[in-house]
Amino acid sequence: MKKVVVIGAGFAGLMAIKQLVKSKNLEITLINDRDYFLFTPRLTELLNNSISEKIVIKPIKEIFGNKVDFIEGKADFIDFEHNVIKIKKRYVKYDFLIMAQGATTNFFESKNIEKYTIGYKDYGAVLKIKEKIKNSIKQYSETKKKEFLAFAVIGAGLTGIELICSLREFVVEEIKKYPNIDKKDAKFLILQSGSIIVPQFPNRVGKIIEKYFRKNSIELMAGTRVENIKNNAIISGNKSLKAATIIWTAGIKANTIKSNPTLALDKGKTIRTTSKLKIPEYVDVYAAGDAALLMENNAPLASTAQTAWQEGINIGKNILRRINGKKEKDFHYFHKGTLIVLGRNHGVFTYKAITFDGKFAWHFRHLFYKFRFWQIT
């Protein structure tokens, strides 16, 4: 019986396993540093309490039961020459390996940024942000120092945009607990180094987002490159912006695993793959999701849940093809549109020439993601 080891229980890893469990001729092991799957596209909605955890988080054991041998922990080392993975004090052999270990926040080697901001990548960050906000509002109530009621998100990609909207709503709800604070005193900032937000989308998408920002008193500071952070001050050129709560969403880097031989990594610590999502040097090793880099049409595929979902399916099917003596197929990404959430009951959907927003877009997104969560879990 062939052994498949999957590192990472994100979209790529789980969708690959969803294919692999269809075969009775495979022994599947999943390695992950937490015992649950997190539906990351809905992470910001846990911040403003607009949805429940049960449609975002699911224990691994409840998803696969006894079909998969689950090991909780981080893969410490991979020996590619002998097809062995070391984890804790255990050694796991594989015939096929899928590296889908995801990514972490990229602070770009700045110790100050890492120290004075909250990196936003997992559920732990949501809990940390909530606690930070509560403490800051309490401190403002006691001291009236404006910096405690200033909230900043650095990075105006989709994650940062969704986050500042959700954060604002959580802050407004918390302020209601303090009769001596006017919600109008709260300041919300989102900083972007580039001059245009979401340049990958049509102009109309950016205009919808900016209109929402203006309506909800969120200040967009485009063309503002953050150079340093000292205590509660964001430094950009000769500007110094005070904020006690600062969240960093300006980049990610792939989680890396020590190995022999050492893998040559691309920008962002990613593993460059072939069109079949394989590591070129090893025909039995695949990489997907945020840990992988695949060039298509002379450009890297975006690190999104949609990309990882499709990559996982392709890898799972290709391994099944191989054990059945069939030829593997190249991976080709198919974009199915983008769903954006701007706080409670306001969403945006965009696909090619189609763009619409408002409550209907929010409900469409909500139902679609509930369906996706059910599919994967």
Please report the DSSP string for 309-376 in residue order.
Answer: HHHHHHHHHHHHHHHTT------------EEEE-STT-EEEEETTEEEEEHHHHHHHHHHHHHHHHHH
Q: State the pLDDT at residue 231.
A: 85
Tokens of 363: 């409900």
Q: State the pLDDT at residue 267.
A: 83
Task: Return phi, psi of residue 54, to 5°.
Answer: -65, -15
Question: Which pTM does this prediction carry?
Answer: 0.95
Start and end residues for every CATH 3.50.50.60 domain found in the chain: 2-33+73-105+252-335, 111-248
Q: State the pLDDT at residue 43.
A: 96
Can you list the residues of the chain whose pLDDT is less than 70?
Answer: none
Q: Residue 153's beta-bridge partner residues?
A: 190, 247
Contact assessment for residue 252 and residue 121, using Cβ atoms and an 8 Å cutoff: yes
Q: Specify the CATH superfamily of domain 2-33+73-105+252-335.
A: FAD/NAD(P)-binding domain (3.50.50.60)
- Please, what's the b/e burial string for 282-291 (b: 16 or more CB within 10 A of its CB; e: otherwise)? bebbbbbbbb
Measured on CA atoms in the order 342, 302, 9, 375, is the torsion positive or negative? positive
Of the candidates 104, 78, 91, 118, which has an alpha carbon nearest to the alpha carbon of residue 10? 104
Residue the block writes with tokens 């003596």:
325
CATH number of 111-248: 3.50.50.60
Q: How far is CA 116 from the centre of its chain?
A: 21
Q: How far apart are alpha carbons 295 and 292 in whole angstroms? A: 10
Residues 6+ away with beta carbon under 8 Å from 60: 9, 30, 32, 35, 36, 37, 68, 70
Q: State the pLDDT at residue 338.
A: 97
Average pLDDT, the chain: 96
